[in-house]
Amino acid sequence: MISGETSVYGILGHPVAHTLSPAMHNAAFRHLGINAVYVPFAVQNLAQAVQGLRGLNIRGASITIPFKEEIISLLDEVDLQARVIGAVNTVINHDGRLWGTNTDWQGALAALEEHTEVAGRHVLVLGAGGAGRAIVFALRQAGAQVTLVDLEENKARSLALEFGAVCVTLDKAVLSPAEILINATPVGMAPQDKVIPLPPDNLKQFEIVMDIVYEPRQTRLLTEAAARGCRGINGLQMLVHQGARQFELFTGHPAPLEIMRQAALFD
């Protein structure tokens, strides 16, 4: 029962109609008996939304597309890892003072490490936006070699230089000797759900293909990869792991990972 003592959390993004984060977090609150609720906020103006976090005493928020980089300048404090990554996906409200961090990198690494050792592997990452930055950071922290591709070549080149990765153009991506492919772009999510970021026949070189898009669960990229013998990792796995870390930051309680996973699977 929601009351005047219920703590409110949410997700800021646009669009957010598809998000599974409310299902995950609310299931975790119920499981642990925490008087809290998590709701989606479809944001039109980020600066006003951030002021709303303070004014309404929203206790914490997830940040998603397209605001992970833009929000940094609007916060009171951002931790070192998020500053290095250049993107924030988690905000905690400490009595009106907003602190930002990033759990995407932890979620991506945890999802990948459920399937393979990361150290020493060569990974091709598509996308140099907020999620791509977090993933490249995670891979380099774990000791992987990274090749990076983005349609905005200057953005990709800058990120590669920051994190010690190699930047190539999209037409040269298929020449990379990478064994793992990670799609860190929105390509594959509606309205681009029929689109694939690489030609299907180029997928057979990869042992593992990971897609951070989680709606649809089985993107065209993963379908085409499976048809060519690749192991697939869908975006739900990264979402659950990064959400679990967020939950721990929000509440101070260990996250019920399997409860969150099941809530996301069956929402």
- Which positions are catalytic? 68
Q: How far apart are CA 120 and CA 137, in angstroms?
A: 15
Structure tokens at 196: 């694939």
> Side chain identity at 194, as an amino acid letter?
K
Residue with tokens 């490490």: 113
- Helix (H) / strand (E) element for 113: namely helix 104-113
C-alpha angle with apex 67: 178 to 138, nearest 5 degrees?
30
Q: How far apart are the first and last CA of the chain?
A: 20
* Torsion on CA atoms 260, 72, 146, 184, rounded to nearest 10: 50
DSSP 8-state secondary structure symbol assigned to residue 87? -
DSSP string, 172-217: GGGG---SEEEE-SSBTBTTSTT--SS-GGGGGG-SEEEE---SSS
